[in-house]
Amino acid sequence: MTALTMASQSEEDTRLPPVPWRRMAWVIWRQHRSALTAVAVFLGALAVSLWRIGLQLHHAYAAAAACRPVLSPACDALQTSFSGMDILLANGYVLQAVPALIGAFAGAPVLARELETGTFRYVWAQGFGRCRWTLAKLVPLAVVVTVAAGALSVLLSWYYQPYLATRNQALFLPEDSPLTNLFVLRGIAFAAWTLTAFAIGALAGMLIRRVVPAIVATLAAYTGLAFAAALYLRQQYLPPLLSRNLFNPPASAWIIRQWWTKGGTTLSQTRMSQLMRQMFYRIMRGMHAVNDSHVKAQKGQANLEIFHYLTRHGYAQWTSYQPASRFWPFQWIEGGWLLTLSALLIVATLWLVRRRAA
Amino acid sequence: MNIVEASGLGKRYGSTWALRDCTLAIPAGHVAALVGPNGAGKTTLLNLAVGLAAPTAGAVTVLGGRPAGSPAALDGIAFVAQDTPLYKNLSAADMLHLTRNLNRRFDQHYARARLAELGVPLKRKAGRLSGGQQAQLALTLALARRPRLLVLDEPVAMLDPIARHDFMASVLMAMADDGVSVLLSSHVLAELERVADYLILLSQGRVQLAGEVDDLLASHRMLTGPAAEVGQYARRPVVRLRRGEAQAHLLIRATLDDPIPPGWEAHPVGLEELALAYLREPGVAALPGPARSRYAEPSEVTK
pLDDT tens digits, residue range A220-231?
A: 999 999 999 999
**Interface predicted TM-score (ipTM):** 0.87
Report the alpha-carbon distance of residue B95 to residue B235 in Å, rounded: 58
**Quick one: pLDDT at residue B144?**
94
Report the alpha-carbon distance of residue B197 to residue B212 in Å, rounded: 6
**Quick one: pLDDT at residue B156?**
84
Q: What is the pLDDT of residues A89-134, one digit of tens each?
A: 777 888 989 999 998 999 999 999 999 999 999 999 999 999 999 9
Nearest partner of B56 among B65, B208, B64, B47, judged by Cα = B47
Question: Which of the four pLDDT bands, split at 50, 70 and 90, describes residue B298?
Answer: very low
Q: How far is A119 from chain B (nearest CA, A)?
A: 5
Residues in A touching B2 (Cβ below 8 Å): none
B28 vs A: CB within 8 A: yes
| Residue among A10, A19, A30 minimizing CB distance to B103 | A19
Q: What is the pLDDT of residues B269-290, one digit of tens each?
A: 888 889 888 888 887 776 654 3
Domains of chain B in sequence order: 2-213 (3.40.50.300), 219-282 (no CATH)
B52 vs A: CB within 8 A: yes
**Mean residue pLDDT across chain A:** 86
* Pairwise CB contact (< 8 Å): B101 & A119: no
Q: What is the pLDDT of residues B96-135, one digit of tens each?
A: 999 999 999 999 999 999 999 999 999 999 999 998 899 9
The C-alpha torsion from B178 through B179 and B180 to B182, rounded to 10°, is 130
Residues in B touching A125 (Cβ below 8 Å): 50-52, 74, 77-79, 81
Question: Which of the four pLDDT bands, split at 50, 70 and 90, describes residue A76?
Answer: confident
| Residue among B78, B85, B104 minimizing CB distance to A19 | B104
Q: How far apart are the first and last CA of chain A?
A: 32
**Quick one: pLDDT at residue B303?**
30
Q: Considering only B83-87, B115-119, B238-242, which range has the smallest mean pLDDT? A: B238-242
| Residue among B64, B98, B101 minimizing CB distance to A10 | B64
**Quick one: pLDDT at residue A279?**
75
Q: What is the pLDDT of residues A303-353, one digit of tens each?
A: 778 888 888 888 898 999 999 899 999 999 999 999 999 999 999 999 999
**Quick one: pLDDT at residue A294?**
66
B38-67 as b/e, with b when 16 or more CB fall inside 10 Å? eebbbbbbbbbbbbbbbbeebebbbbeebe
Q: How much is the average pLDDT of A32-46?
A: 92
**Quick one: pLDDT at residue B122?**
95
Of B58 and A358, more confident: B58
- The residue in chain A having the minimum alpha-carbon distance to the alpha carbon of residue B48 is A358
| Residue among B79, B83, B102 minimizing CB distance to A19 | B102
